Structure 1
Amino acid sequence: MEAGYCLVLAKYENQINVFSDFLDELPDSAEPVWILGQCYDVKTEKSNLLSDISSRLWFTYRKKFSPIGGTGPSSDAGWGCMLRCGQMILAQALVCQHLGREWRWHPESKHPAEYHRILNCFLDKKDSCYSIHQMAQMGVGEGKSVGEWYGPNTVAQVLKKLAVFDDWNSLAVYVSMDNTVVIEDIKKQCQKAGPDSRPCAGACGWGEFSGVSSSSPFRPLSHAHSYISPSWRPLLLLVPLRLGINNINPVYIQALKECFKIPQSCGVLGGKPNLAYYFIGLIGEELIYLDPHTTQSALDAEQGSYVDDLGYHCQRSPHRMKITSLDPSVALGFFCKTEEDFDSWCDLVQKEVLKKRNLRMFELVEKHPSHWPPFVPPTKPEVQTTGAEFIESTDKLFESEEEFEILNV
């Protein structure tokens, strides 16, 4: 394992700094750059900005992996871009859970075992819990054939269903319905049996050591008062929305921009016609995103081993697009490691995203609506198998949710 790590390092020894022209791609503006809840000054915080962007896990099209389902496609080029974006938003939540938002990737550094374990969750193998194989086949239960393009809501539903089989992360994935986030339902899904809360040890929350810029209008609670509760499962909150008919309604733009400034921001799934992107930030009236539309060869890595991770971090100039070009079908993402984080998120969303708008992007309510069916948290079916075989046997256990997307590839 150590020898493999040294071999990877050797590949980077003579690497040219591909970030040297980074700022030529960004406007010379006094506008702050927001990346997943953190604020940067383009002129004075160049290296920190570059490090943050390159530290996000970047999943792209891959080729030459084992055929999906045994006889299906061995590449997702042309159809898997939204699935890859779904992998990225989930990976961001796992990095925050295990490594913290302040963690940074460097190609020359040796990284924690948790980092490599996270990467292993997404390898292009049928036995990786969030592989393209698992996601594509779980999508069959959402009415999507393997090889068919997905939209933000469908990917959100797939992530929710796969997460119940992931015992290591024990992540609660909540997907809102009917543009409504229900606090009572989220707390029901995230709570589990356990002892009382205990003080947090180390960098494990959105506290003062999380790396959030002092210029942020959203100051998280003090790290000294952050707690981890053994009875609370970390939360990935996904909010599928339709913000217009054919184009995004301008009335929603400012609220959408505010979402990238919240410390719990985990990005946005979306894109424009024929293209899916993972949006991680903004500058002025432009969104910054990671683009999955690059085809790389699948890695032939053993499960549990260190991964040659150079292809999992985008070291190119950041892509940008005008926010007015965004397709109206999106899914907002937020990560709350603790119940305190979630309570803070609720306060920030009410004050900064919802109350200041004439037309709200979504509703945040305390109680489960009485006219809705009872809320039942997703649980693991009683199936004694794993991998693709398990997915094929459980497809019919799940009902499809309403689609929001209109994008097509």
Structure 2
Amino acid sequence: MDGMFEMYLEGSIEPDDIPNTREPVYILGKKYNAVQELDIIRQDILSKVWFTYRKNFVPIGGDEGLTTDKGWGCMLRCGQMVLAQALISLHLGRDWMWEPETKDSTYLKILGKFMDKRQAPFSIHQIAMMGVSENKEVGQWFGPNTVAQVLKKLVKYDEWSSLAIHIALDNALVVSDIREMCLSCESPEGSGSLKCEKGDWKPLLLIVPLRLGLQDINPIYVSGLKKCFQFKQSLGVIGGKPNLALYFIGCVGDEVIYLDPHTTQKSGSVENKETEEEIELDCTYHCKYASRINILSMDPSVAVCFFCSTESDFNDLCHSIKRDLIEPEKQPLFEIAYEKPKQWTPTLDDAVEAADFELTGDFDSEHEFEIL
């Protein structure tokens, strides 16, 4: 991947990122015409924050710790991309576009939260160290649910965004649980919750971990997965192809469009983007050309993501899920319930990490996104 990235930069090969087709192209809920809007599609993709492997950063876990995440950090980087896009949508709007000259203070503040240093709240350092609480040692592969659980813990420390993360367990979206979380506030003492004033809603990053097959995606799920990219609340899919974590941001026909973290770049800090070095470094957080693969080539372990800035967004998403994902599909991706079923046994915080897919039987970790 590193060599391919360098060839793109040098312009020695023609990109094959978006096909010349009349089929609609969807990028995080926005519909495009590939023939008439290719430049706009590419600008939209370029505006997504792209996190990749980095090298020569401050050691993780002390002076003897790791100074690169090459070979183990791709799922962590995909988690960063999802969270960064949620913050961009929240603070700048879904239609915000990045350009090399961009020096927007809000954008730079968001980007700064992900820099490769211990103090940054969503750095590779913070995610890797918080992963220890999820039984993942530093340098060990994460599954899609593990990175979601870690991000859920870390966002609680970002008062500026006041973002809530809900992870739907057992293929079920429980509306009452989400509403209770997004319409409540932490008490000053942290000893419970206080109801917010009417109309207050914590912006929601909703993550639905799924297993869509054993070793390959079951074709029965393809239609539903493609529809997820079409919802206006779409924040893409954390997933990959066997042994490689990828961030899927859209689809066209039977192919999915993704950002690939498997490029190793130097570490640094963009800060206020005042020096030439900082300007150049900012450009390394944006991918000029996305990639695509057939949807059936995806690993069946995925986490579908949505962002609801307002209560109205969430209500609309629930309606869309019921109308487009559940009612017409023979085998829905997941179910939606307004109250927790009586037979429900796990709690939201204490449940077994079902979405890292600790399946019973003869399944090894090679198909569970846990390769070291």
TM-score range, shorter chain: 0.7 to 0.9
SS of structure 2 residue aligned to 1:65: strand
Alignment match, 1:63? 55
- Mapping 1:360-379, distance limit 5 Å: 360-372=332-344
Residue 360 of structure 1, CA deviation: 1.4
**Whole-angstrom CA distance in 2 between matches of 1:141 and 1:372:** 25
SS of structure 1 residue aligned to 2:343: coil
**Whole-angstrom CA distance in 1 between matches of 2:285 and 2:178:** 31
Residue 338 of structure 1, CA deviation: 0.3
Q: 2:293 aligns with which of 311, 321, 324?
A: 321
SS of structure 2 residue aligned to 1:347: helix
Is the counterpart of residue 252 in structure 1 residue 244 in structure 2?
Answer: no
CA change 1:323–1:399 in 2 (3 A) is closer
Q: 1:47 aligns with which of 39, 64, 71?
A: 39
Over the residues paired in the alignment, what is the CA RMSD in angstroms?
2.1
**Whole-angstrom CA distance in 2 between matches of 1:280 and 1:269:** 9
Residue identity in the other structure for 1:134: Q
**Whole-angstrom CA distance in 2 between matches of 1:374 and 1:260:** 29
Alignment match, 1:240? 209
CA change 1:374–1:254 in 2 (3 A) is closer
Spell out, residue by residue over 1:82-112, the C-alpha distance to the aligned partner (whole angstroms, 9 max, x if none). Answer: 000000011111000000001000112332x
When structure 1 is superposed on structure 2, of 127-136 and 101-110 the one drifting more is 101-110
**Whole-angstrom CA distance in 1 between matches of 2:17 and 2:166:** 36
Q: Contact (CA 8 Å) 2:301, 2:368: kept in 1 or not?
A: yes
**Whole-angstrom CA distance in 2 between matches of 1:360 and 1:172:** 25
Residue 399 of structure 1, CA deviation: 7.6
Q: Contact (CA 8 Å) 1:141, 1:400: kept in 2 or not?
A: no
Is the counterpart of residue 33 in structure 1 residue 25 in structure 2?
Answer: yes
Q: 1:357 aligns with which of 293, 317, 329?
A: 329
Gaps (5+ residues) in structure 2? 1-8, 185-194, 358-366
Residue 300 of structure 1, CA deviation: 4.1
Alignment match, 2:90? 97
Q: Contact (CA 8 Å) 1:62, 1:295: kept in 2 or not?
A: yes
- Mapping 1:9-408, distance limit 5 Å: 21-22=14-15, 24-70=16-62, 71-111=64-104, 113-192=105-184, 193-197=195-199, 231-300=200-269, 308=279, 309-315=282-288, 317-372=289-344, 401-402=353-354, 403-404=356-357, 406-407=368-369, 408=371
Residue 168 of structure 1, CA deviation: 1.2
Residue identity in the other structure for 2:340: H
Q: Contact (CA 8 Å) 1:54, 1:105: kept in 2 or not?
A: yes
CA change 1:371–1:339 in 2 (3 A) is same
**Whole-angstrom CA distance in 1 between matches of 2:335 and 2:157:** 29
**Whole-angstrom CA distance in 2 between matches of 1:172 and 1:118:** 16
SS of structure 1 residue aligned to 2:325: helix
**Whole-angstrom CA distance in 2 between matches of 1:104 and 1:305:** 17
CA change 1:399–1:69 in 2 (3 A) is farther
**Whole-angstrom CA distance in 2 between matches of 1:278 and 1:53:** 12
Spell out, residue by residue over 1:3-61, the C-alpha distance to the aligned partner (whole angstroms, 9 max, x if none). Answer: xxxxxxxxxxxxx9969954x54332211111000011111112211110000000000
CA change 1:26–1:188 in 2 (3 A) is same
SS of structure 2 residue aligned to 1:164: helix
SS of structure 2 residue aligned to 1:155: helix
Residue 370 of structure 1, CA deviation: 2.4
Where is the strand percentage greater, Structure 1 or Structure 2?
Answer: 2
Residue 318 of structure 1, CA deviation: 2.0
CA change 1:366–1:63 in 2 (3 A) is same
**Whole-angstrom CA distance in 2 between matches of 1:45 and 1:123:** 33
User: What TM-score do you get using the length of structure 2 for normalisation?
Assistant: 0.86
Residue identity in the other structure for 2:198: D
**Whole-angstrom CA distance in 1 between matches of 2:247 and 2:164:** 21
**Whole-angstrom CA distance in 2 between matches of 1:235 and 1:96:** 11
Residue identity in the other structure for 2:161: N
Gaps (5+ residues) in structure 1? 1-15, 198-230, 379-397
Matched residue count: 337
Residue identity in the other structure for 2:83: L
Q: Contact (CA 8 Å) 1:19, 1:50: kept in 2 or not?
A: no
Spell out, residue by residue over 1:132-187, the C-alpha distance to the aligned partner (whole angstroms, 9 max, x if none). Answer: 01100111111111000111111111111111111111100000111111000000
Residue 368 of structure 1, CA deviation: 1.5
Q: Contact (CA 8 Å) 2:53, 2:70: kept in 1 or not?
A: yes
CA change 1:343–1:78 in 2 (3 A) is same
Residue identity in the other structure for 1:40: Y
SS of structure 2 residue aligned to 1:59: coil
Q: Contact (CA 8 Å) 2:112, 2:269: kept in 1 or not?
A: no
Residue 375 of structure 1, CA deviation: 5.3
Residue identity in the other structure for 2:295: I
SS of structure 1 residue aligned to 2:336: strand
**Whole-angstrom CA distance in 1 between matches of 2:153 and 2:265:** 27
Residue identity in the other structure for 1:82: M
Residue identity in the other structure for 1:195: E
**Whole-angstrom CA distance in 2 between matches of 1:348 and 1:61:** 36
